[in-house]
Amino acid sequence: MESNNKLKLYNTLSRKIEDFNPIKKGKVGMYVCGPTTYDKSHIGHARTYIFFDFFRRFLEFKGNKVKLIINLTDVDDKIIKAASKYDSWQVVSDRYSRYFFWMLDTLKIKPPYSFPQVTSHMQEIIELVQTLIDKEFAYELKDGIYFSIDKLENYGKLSKVNLGDPTIARIEKTPGKKNPADFALWKFKKVDEPYWYAPFGEGRPGWHIECSAMSSKYLGTNFDIHGGGADLIFPHHENEIAQSEAAFGIKKWVNYWVHVAFLTIAKEKMSKSLKNFVGIDQLLDTFSPEILRYYLLSAHYQTQLDFTWDKMKKAREQWTRVVRAWYDVVQRTEREIYGQEDVSNEIETEFNRMIESLNNDLKTPEAYKHIHFLASLVLSNDINKKSVDVAHEALSKISEIFGILPEKSWTGKELRLAEELAELREDLRKGERFDLSDSIRTRLKDEGIKIEDTKEGPRVKFV
């Protein structure tokens, strides 16, 4: 029940969909830019990291061992600025690193191979800057060491940036730069700011150099996939390519560049000033992690996703139907309740079509159509044991790839107990024992079970 067809993947570098061929068959090196830890992660961050978790899961489903690296920028201008509200810049970084880890764990994002931090890899960063100085790709100004883009052929090959654009000069405003697009590799120390010793001057890294240093340490000087949000294409990823290929003396540092499109809030850019900033903790007060994963994977990763609370509610309705099919299969298996209909071939066909959709540049919207049709086959037929077994395997693999089914695997006994508690609550309500009935309802809700009051009586629903 799986396809061995080759994965086709859009490469930002070539602007084409290409066959994905890892450098070493069966092994994939992937680097994803992590957060700058100066504030809480929001729904836009969640979309990026959930997508790359799903991508990693699919690569593993296809038989690959994935070495995923997600870095943490724990010293930066934004962190230093935020430190005015705390005892030190380290406190800021520690606080929001913990929040980021909580988000990953809560949203069922599998831990990467490593979470390298800038402050723990200063030696590698300093050595890389020194290499660029020695190779004459860098020069010194009063405030730091800068990379000279004119020394490198094909600068701009990832972003296709127009170097004549006057906005480029405003990215890093520094008098004396040889080219407005030149960028800082190392910033010389300032009063009351953290700094490290280096042969070219005390200071701290520029933003871009860290990723080149850490990715090369863990994945080598040529690896398979580099990813992040679309907002990182320029200048961050463009500058990573420039400094890495210059330092390592290679023409292709990363083989595939994968970027996740922007997320908007009611068709506006998310911004605290617009008061439309949606945090992860805020979302999880209303929706389960699985529903959030379902929603954020519902649009193709290259398509801008617009968030509204109504769209989340709609996604919950769609997700619930898939979960109902899953629990229907679980209950039939536990209770050994089987019918006569054989839809095993149809279920397997829909699963394989889903995999083909994912092989075609990870087209999750198409994959969802096949998942929902598969769920309808389960729910609309009195299916036999063979069909139940095939459906169980298919839905288990869907959960393995997407991470959208509840982690708790309810057994038939647990389901029956939940139903009996719902009936007990109904009796207590009729006897006006509202304190106890509300207590049962709350306790079941804590376990991911909602009681719906209908004309036919209480109905258990999993959320």
pLDDT of residue 425: 85
Whether the model pTM is above 0.75: yes
| Domain containing residue 315 | 309-402
Q: Is residue 377 one of the residues assigned to a domain?
A: yes
Neighbours of 366 (CB within 10 A): 16
3-class secondary structure, 287? coil
Residue 364, domain CATH: 1.20.120
Series of mean pLDDT values for 10-residue runs along the chain (463 residues): 81 98 98 95 95 98 98 95 89 95 96 97 98 98 96 93 77 86 96 96 96 98 97 96 97 97 88 76 89 97 95 92 90 86 97 98 98 96 95 96 79 68 85 86 74 71 56
Same domain flag for 136 and 178? yes
Close Cβ partners of 64 (under 8 Å, ≥ 6 residues apart): 22, 26, 27, 28
Q: Roughly what angle, to the nearest 10 degrees, separates helices 364-379 and 385-402?
A: 150
State whether 140 and 52 are in the same domain: yes
User: Residue 177: its pLDDT value, please?
Assistant: 93
Q: Are 96 and 281 in contact (CB under 8 A)?
A: no
Residues 242 and 188 in one domain: yes
**CA–CA gap between residue 101 and residue 89 (Å, rounded):** 18
Same domain, 190 and 159: yes
Model pLDDT, residue 85: 85
What integer pLDDT is reported at residue 167 of this predicted model? 72
Q: Do 346 and 426 lie in a common domain?
A: no
User: What phi and psi values does residue 9 have, to the nearest 5 degrees?
Assistant: -135, 135
- 294 lies in a domain? no
| Residues 142 and 44 grouped into a single domain | yes
Q: Which of 352, 375, 402 is the last residue of a domain?
A: 402
Residue 429: predicted pLDDT: 85
Same structural domain, 328 and 375: yes
Residue 296 lies in a domain: no
- Is 319 a domain residue? yes
> Which pLDDT belongs to residue 376?
96
292 within domain boundaries: no
The span from the CA of 393 to the CA of 343, in Å, is 14
Q: How far apart are CA 149 and CA 291, in angstroms?
A: 45
Asked if the structure places residue 264 within a domain, the reply is yes
Per-residue confidence (pLDDT) for residue 301, from 0 to 100: 98
**SS3 assignment, position 19:** strand
What are the start-end ranges of the H helices in 271-343? 280-284, 289-296, 309-335
